[in-house]
Amino acid sequence: MIQAVILTLNEARHITACIESVRWADSVLVFDSFSADETVALAREAGAEVRQHPFENYSQQRNAALDAASAPWVFFLDADERATPELAAEIRRVTAACPEVGWWIPRHNVIFGHRMRGAGWWPDHQLRLLRRERARYDPHRAVHEEAVLDGAAGYLENPLIHYNYETLRQFIKKQRQYTDYDAGILHRQGARIKGYTPYTQALRHVWWRFVTLHGWRDGPHGLLLAGLMGYYEMVKYRKARQMANGG
């Protein structure tokens, strides 16, 4: 009834523990983007089915994984995520008895060794439990992908655990990638960005993360991450303005 599907690229550090956390599923599929490390060997050693598919973007990869899956229900998780026994029991219950075709799952993010309680990283709902034939991803949405459902969605209570950014270097690398993509979206949408816009957007973002989204609950971690995200909001708008000016 339920197949856990794990998308991977060079996830040797995480893959075994991730598979162990979904032993309760009826089957486990590791959908790999031709890893150069031991990911594939470790996944097979742990008893998972492995298929490989060239990576184009996140939405296309998830659609390809849906096509490759064999069970009526697909539970997507990333290699740096873990499912708890409580979440497993809840998934079993709703897939057996409820009419919804998709389920949003709350997610605890562990960032720099701290489990976040606010700032947008909790409850951080992810649409990851899908009735396979009633879900599809927009292939034009390269990142921040989200399934489009043919039917209703519900919300689970028990969370995934996400071992997110471990170091500042890792965080910076990922945010640079996101700002490139998001700035391109602003540019294609024809956003009119004035000289002061990057700075006002940065201040608004810091307030939103730290106050509106309760980043203050995380103390120094919340302040640091609100500040970092505000900075990269400024970078995003600067890049979009440079694109608009032909830079």
Which residue among 163, 198, 223 closes a domain?
A: 163
Q: What is the pLDDT confidence band of residue 146, given thresholds at 50, 70 and 90?
A: confident
Cα gap 154→136, rounded to integer Å: 17
Tell me, yes or no, whether 134 and 184 share the same domain: no
Six token digits for residue 213? 């989204």
Cα gap 18→36, rounded to integer Å: 19
Task: Give residue 247's pLDDT.
Answer: 65
Kindly tell me if the per-residue pLDDT of 180 is higher than 70.
yes
Tell me, yes or no, whether 138 and 229 share the same domain: no
Is the overall model pTM greater than 0.75, yes or no?
yes
Tell me, yes or no, whether 149 and 28 share the same domain: yes
- Residue 207 CA: distances (Å) to CA of 119, 121, 213: 10, 15, 9
Domain count, the chain: 2
Tell me, yes or no, whether 80 and 55 share the same domain: yes
| CATH classification of the domain holding 73 | 3.90.550.10
Residue range of the domain that includes 143: 2-163
Answer whether 15's CB lies under 8 Å from 74's CB.
Answer: no
Tell me, yes or no, whether 157 and 180 share the same domain: no
